[in-house]
A and B are shown apart, each in its own frame.
Chain A
Amino acid sequence: MKRSSWEKYQKTIPDDNFYYARSCIRQNFFPGSEAAFLKILKDDLGVDVFDDAKHTSCTGIGYHSDIVPLETIMTVVARQFSLMNEAGYKNMVSSCITSFGLYTEILSMWHHFPELEEKTHDNLKKATGRDFVKPECVVHSSDLIFHFRDRIAAKAKKKLVNSVTGRPLKVVEHIGCHYAKIFPTAGIGGSEFPYVLAGMVESWGGEVVDYPERRHCCGFGFRNYLVQANRGAPVANSRQKLESMAPYKPDFIVANCPGCTMFLDKWQYAIQQMEGVTYGADGHGIPVLSYEEMAGLVLGYDPWDLGMQMHQVSVEPLLMKLDIDYDESHKFLGNNGKYISRPTDCGL
Chain B
Amino acid sequence: MMKNFGYTINTKRAIDLDKNDLSIAEEVMREVPSWSLCIGCGSCTATCTAGAFTDYNFRKTHLLARRGDIATLRKELDKCMLCGKCVLQCPRGVNTRGVIAALCRLLPQ
Chain A interfacial positions (CB closer than 8 Å to B): 228-233, 235-236, 239-240, 270-271, 273-276
Contact = CB atoms under 8 A, between A and B. Distances in A.
A274 B5 CA distance: 8
Nearest to A240: B12
B2 A236 contact: no
9 contacts: A228-B6, A229-B6, A230-B7, A232-B7, A232-B8, A232-B9, A236-B12, A273-B3, A274-B3
A270 B6 CA distance: 11
A229 to B, nearest CB: 6
A232 B10 contact: yes
Contacts of A231: 5-7
Contacts of B2: 273-276
Interface centre among A233, A236, A276, by most chain B C-beta atoms within 10 angstroms, is A236
Contact of A270 (B5, B10, B12): B5
B57 to A, nearest CB: 23
Interface string B4-31: 1111111110000000000000000000
Contacts of B7: 228-232, 235
Nearest to A270: B5
A230 B3 CA distance: 17
Residue of A229, A231, A276 with most partner-chain B CB within 10 A: A231
Nearest to A267: B9
B10 A233 contact: yes
A235 to B, nearest CB: 5
A331 B64 CA distance: 53
Nearest to B4: A274
A230 B10 CA distance: 9
A195 to B, nearest CB: 27
A230 B8 CA distance: 9
A236 B3 contact: no
Chain B: interface size category: 10 to 19
Nearest to B13: A236
B9 A273 contact: no
Interface of B: 2-12
A240 B13 CA distance: 11
B14 to A, nearest CB: 8
A231 B4 CA distance: 12
A82 B3 CA distance: 48
A239 B9 contact: yes
B9 A275 contact: yes
B4 to A, nearest CB: 8
A239 B12 CA distance: 10
A235 B8 CA distance: 9
A226 B5 CA distance: 14
Contacts of A270: 5
A240 B10 CA distance: 11
Q: Which 6 A-B pairs have the closest CB atoms?
A: A273-B3, A236-B10, A232-B10, A231-B7, A232-B7, A228-B6
B5 A236 contact: no
B17 to A, nearest CB: 15
Contacts of A240: 12
A228 B12 CA distance: 19
B18 to A, nearest CB: 12
Nearest to A230: B7
A236 B10 CA distance: 6
Nearest to B11: A236
A233 B3 CA distance: 18
Contacts of A239: 9
A10 B10 CA distance: 38
Nearest to B5: A270
Nearest to A238: B9
B6 A271 contact: no
A273 B10 contact: no
* Interface-central residue, B4, B7, B11, by most chain A CB under 10 Å: B7
Nearest to A239: B9
A267 B7 CA distance: 13
Given A240-B12, A274-B5, 4 more contacts: A273-B5, A274-B2, A274-B3, A276-B2
Nearest to B3: A273
B64 to A, nearest CB: 20
A318 B8 CA distance: 30
Among B5, B8, B9, max chain A CB count under 10 A is at B9
